[in-house]
Structures are given as C-alpha cells and as structure tokens.
Chain A
Amino acid sequence: MPYEFEEILETIKMTEIEHFDIRTVTLGISLRDCVDRNIEITKQKIYDKILKYGKNHVKYAKEVEDQYGLSIANKRIAVTPISIPFDHFKRDDFVEIAKTLDKAAEEIGIDFIAGFSALVQKGFTNGERELIESIPYALSQTKRVCSSVNVASTKAGINMDAINLMAEAIKKTAELTKDQNSIGCAKLVVYCNVPEDNPFVAGAFHGISEPEVVLNVGISGPGVVLDAIKSAGKTDLQSLAEVIKRTVFKITRAGELVGRKVAEKHGVPFGIVDISLAPTPAEGDSIADILIAMGVEDVGAPGTTAALAMLNDSVKKAGLMASSSVGGMSGAFIPVSEDQGMIRAVQKGHLTIEKLEAMTAVCSVGLDMIAVPGDTPTSTIAGIIADECAIGMINNKTTAVRIIPAYGKKVGDTVDYGGLLGLAPIMKVSNLSCENFVGRGGRVPAPTGSLTN
C-alpha cells in the first residue's frame, strides 16, 4: 500500500472529526475595465463582468468538495478596490455600485462580496473621499457587500485624517444598522499594510497588481492544530513548534490542492494560499483553545502573547515549506466574536482590549470583531485604530481593526449575529480621551524602517 495506515487515518480524522475545512475560495475579479461616464452603464458593466467570471464559482467549488471529500466553507468574490476605477463618481453613485455588487453576489449565490475599498494611506483623491463617505449608506443598504480601507503603511506612514473619517464612518454605520445590532460594522475593516491578495472577507479585495481574474484560497483548521497539540502531551516548546508545523504543513498542502483544482475548473490562474488559522464559532474550532492547550490558563493570562507569537510563527514556517504560493495574511486570526474561547475569556473578564492589542503585535491581523459600547466617542475609536496602525507600521506587518460600537449597548451586553460572525460581548474601553491627539489630523510620518532602498 503506498500510504501508511496511520497516514490515512490521520487524514480521515482531520476532515471528519477535527473540522478541517477549506475556509474560503475567493475569486478575484478586476473591474478596471468597467468604467463609464454614465453610472447606469457602469453598473451594468460591473454586473456583467462579475457574472461572467463568477457564475459557476459555487458550482465548481462544490464539485471539488465532492471530489476530495473536503468541505469548502465559503465561496466568495473580491473585486478591484471600487474607488480606483470609479474615482469620478459621487457618494450616491458609490452606494448604487454597492447595490450592484450586492445584486451580483445574490445572483451567484454567495454570502459576501468584498472590495468596496480604498487605499488612502498617503492621501485622498476626491473619489476616495466620496467612497469613504458612502460606506455607511452602502453597508446599511446592502447585505453582502464588505468594505475595507487602508489608512496606513510602513512606506507612507499613518493618515490620521483618514482614520478620523473612518472612525466617523464606523459610528455612522453602527447607527444606520442599529436594528440589526450594528451589523454593518462587521463588514468594515480598517487596515495598515493591507495585503492585496487576501482571500478572507471582509478585508479582501482584488489588488491593483493582480491579474484580470485569479483564485485565492484561505485555509482554516484550528481544530486540527488543537488536537495535535493535545496529543503531543507535555513536550518542550521546540517539540511543540514541530508538532504545529507538521500539522499546518499538511493542511496547507490540502488547501493548495483544492485551490488549484477550483482554479483549474474556472480556467483562471491560481493565486495564493493564505495559511491562516481562522476560527469559527463552532466548538473546538478556536484559537483560544489552542493557546490554552499550549499551557496558559485562559486567553489573557501572562504568556498569552508569547504563545500566540510561537503559534503564528510556526504556522508561517510550515506554510512556506508546504506551498510556493503563500500570501495574504498567513498566520493566526484572533477575532473575538467568531471564537468560542475568546468570547468566554472576555465574558469572564480575562481578556481586555489592551491585552488583545498586545496580541495583535505578534499575530496576523488585529483587533477583529470587537464590540464596544455604542457611546464610545469617535475620537476614541480613531485612537484605537491609530494604535493598531502604529503596531503595523513599525513592525512592517498587516494590522486591521474591525470594531463594532454597538448602538445603544453597554458593557455587559452581548450582540448576537449568528452564523460565522458569532456572538460579541461588549468590551470595556478606556475612558481616557485622545481627542487632542487624533484631532490634530495630518499624517504620522513614515518610520525609518520605510527607508529600505
């Protein structure tokens, strides 16, 4: 037999018991050729183009699922940052474009379409200002559209004006979607050093250096890593890193296989595998549980950041070995509402925003799916975003903020979105003000690390 008994059983165990699935196959589609002076023609062009490439996306993914007995949790689409080709439009036109994206997504049968985005780390064009202004309306009038804005980078510094605008947009989105627990904010990400090929919605978009159309894949698998760590028992940290690497190596290989197969069916190039450990609200599919299995009492305990750093690094190393096309975020995600263990830790008072912020310095994203009181001042939200951007800018890594100032909610309440977005306990935010700092506006200059040429 060409495979060992144990190897076969291991694979079966991963897919059948440990919730290993491919988290997302995301089809990136360029909309750069959909420009027209007339908004109606533009909308038609956008719709037609997305349908042209995307209409079989769900079908193809399902076929690959059946072929390999491996489930693909999400099928999604990312488009060119809308502000780039459609820079000449005004706020209301952008809302119309968002509705068109929504309609196309509905027609294809996918739950999210991402790319209602702008890249403004160094400054705004007129269109980018209009797009940012349109975000609250776009997100409240659509169901499937996700938005992201990059406000800082190591090369350009931190655009504080953009952060202030985004903080306002977040507050406004929370208000406009207050009937659904401010769900609009769950579809809005503020970035520093955004990757252009990230397949994970809500922060996905089809970067400007990407080809016409491309297929990227995001893998998941915290359950698999958790079980591997548990069965490793009491080993030292080097051996533990080995265990994590071995496991992630295998799931990355499976992810690449699935990605290539789906791309082959589409007849489009395969882009990257994002080897992120992305939790889901399902029990056992949790990053927090991995950290606990590594030995901390609960997430938030001293040592959590070190454990997360090791986990994140092991994931990257294994991924690099397993695939020659690693991209996106590639690391461990620590969203609060989407992870049972994180939710528990917040509810018990073990995990605070401040500790989470420290953890984001060593993991692949940032403050993700954090619900805060609805009356949190706009300047405080801007301050939180600025802190995250600073971590990303100085450390030359991606950081992101997806924060939900849940309208009308206070510390102790929870907001329940159901499904993949999960349940978010409202976290306490410092009452100290940063208004005079963020209110200065302008740009934090790029750090010395930017001068690499």
Chain B
Amino acid sequence: MRISEEEIRKLTLEAMSELGERATPELVKKVVEKSVAKIGSAPGKIQSDTFDSGRIILTAFGLDHAGIIAKITQAIADAECDIRDMSQKILDVFFTLIMIIDISNSPKDLKEIQTDMNKIAEEMNIKVFMQHEDLFRFMHRI
C-alpha cells in the first residue's frame, strides 16, 4: 500500500500536536516512521490494482474571461461533489484550471456531470475534460 505525501504530512502534524512540548525533530521523525510502517503493513488494507478512488480530474482550458471558475464550481456544488484540490494558472491570455474532485457522494455519475460540464464549456467557449483519477495514477505512478 502506498502512502501519499498528504497522508505523511497529516501524520506529522498529528504526531507534533500529540507530543506537544516534547516534540523534537528527531522524535517526530521516529514516531512518523513507526506509523508509516504500521499503516504499510496493516492487514486487510491491501487495495486491488484497480482500486476505485472515486476521484476525477477536471481540466479546463480556454481564453480567459470573467466567471469561468464560478460556473464550474457552481456545477460541482450542484452535483454535490467535493473539490479536493485545485490549481489554476493564467498563461498570457489562456486560462488553465485543474481540479481534483471527489464524486463518490454525488447522486450523479461521471457521465451526467460530464454532460453538465459540456454545457458550461459551450457556454463559456472553453474546453473541459474530465477523467477518472485512476487513469492518471496508473499512467504516472508505479
């Protein structure tokens, strides 16, 4: 089982708050290492290769103008999806947006959300792609 950077960061923070004043860099390191080893070897937690994370990656491109993020995030909120991470850049006049969205609690499936997004893409004259996170994980992580 792999542990993401984010999880290690969380563990570190937890260890620091628990140790309180006793926390020294060495001690925190030791505690975190122990916890990581424990999680790594926890039985019954082994995930299949194609474990479905329920997260999708949304990418949007286009000429920048007002209200793009507002529209997209509104649609995500309407679909009861949770934004887990978001990164946005303006390159010259081009707008690029990448979001990681958790759709596992949404009443809509990926296809329906995609249809919503296609409408927005047309309206705002941008391109919106949505793909399952698993695909990125499989292609870029071993």
A254 to B100, CA, bound (A): 19
Residue in chain B with minimal CB distance to A8: B98
Interfacial chain A residues near B85, Cβ < 8 Å: 1-2
Using known A-B contacts A3-B57, A3-B140, A257-B50, determine if residue A11 contacts B135 with beta carbons closer than 8 Å.
yes
Q: Confirm or deny: B80 has a beta carbon within 8 angstroms of a beta carbon on chain A.
A: no
B138–A1 touching, CB < 8 Å: no
Interfacial chain B residues near A9, Cβ < 8 Å: 59
Q: Pick out which of these stretches binds chain B: A62-70, A280-288, A304-312.
A: A62-70
Interfacial chain A residues near B57, Cβ < 8 Å: 3, 8
Q: Mark B74-118, 1 if CB is under 8 A from A, else 0.
A: 000000000001010100000000101000000000110010000
Residue in chain B with minimal CB distance to A254: B139
A3 to B129, CA, bound (A): 16
The contact size tier of chain B is 20 to 34
Using known A-B contacts A3-B57, A8-B59, determine if residue A66 contacts B131 with beta carbons closer than 8 Å.
no
Q: Which of B5, B110, B129, B140 has the most CB of A within 10 A?
A: B140
B138–A7 touching, CB < 8 Å: no
Using known A-B contacts A1-B85, A3-B57, A5-B87, determine if residue A70 contacts B140 with beta carbons closer than 8 Å.
no
Q: Mark B127-142, 1 if CB is under 8 A from A, else 0.
A: 0011110111011100
Using known A-B contacts A1-B87, A2-B100, A68-B131, determine if residue A11 contacts B136 with beta carbons closer than 8 Å.
yes
Using known A-B contacts A69-B131, A260-B50, determine if residue A3 contacts B110 with beta carbons closer than 8 Å.
no
Q: Confirm or deny: B4 has a beta carbon within 8 angstroms of a beta carbon on chain A.
A: yes
* B30-83 with Cβ < 8 A to chain A: 49-50, 57, 59
A286 to B75, CA, bound (A): 40
Interfacial chain B residues near A261, Cβ < 8 Å: 50
Interfacial chain A residues near B138, Cβ < 8 Å: 253-254, 256-257
B87–A67 touching, CB < 8 Å: no
Interfacial chain B residues near A254, Cβ < 8 Å: 135, 138-139
Interfacial chain A residues near B5, Cβ < 8 Å: 2
Interfacial chain A residues near B130, Cβ < 8 Å: 69
B50–A67 touching, CB < 8 Å: no
Q: Confirm or deny: B6 has a beta carbon within 8 angstroms of a beta carbon on chain A.
A: yes
B134–A257 touching, CB < 8 Å: yes
* A237-262 with Cβ < 8 A to chain B: 250-251, 253-254, 256-257, 260-261
A69–B134 touching, CB < 8 Å: no
A225 to B57, CA, bound (A): 24
Query: A46 to chain B: closest CB distance in Å?
Result: 32
Q: In the A-B complex, list the 10 residue pairs whose CB atoms are closest, starting with the nearest.
A: A69-B131, A250-B139, A257-B138, A253-B138, A7-B140, A260-B50, A68-B132, A66-B111, A68-B135, A1-B85
**Contacts A2-B6, A11-B140, A254-B135 given; 18 further ones with Cβ under 8 A?**
A1-B85, A1-B87, A1-B100, A2-B5, A2-B85, A2-B100, A5-B98, A7-B139, A8-B136, A12-B59, A68-B132, A69-B130, A253-B139, A254-B138, A254-B139, A257-B138, A260-B49, A261-B50
Q: Which A residues have a C-beta under 8 Å from some C-beta of B?
A: 1-5, 7-9, 11-12, 15-16, 66-70, 250-251, 253-254, 256-257, 260-261, 264
CB pairs A–B below 8 angstroms (19 shown): A3-B136, A4-B140, A5-B89, A7-B139, A11-B136, A15-B129, A15-B131, A67-B110, A67-B132, A68-B131, A69-B129, A69-B130, A69-B132, A70-B131, A250-B140, A254-B135, A256-B49, A260-B49, A264-B50
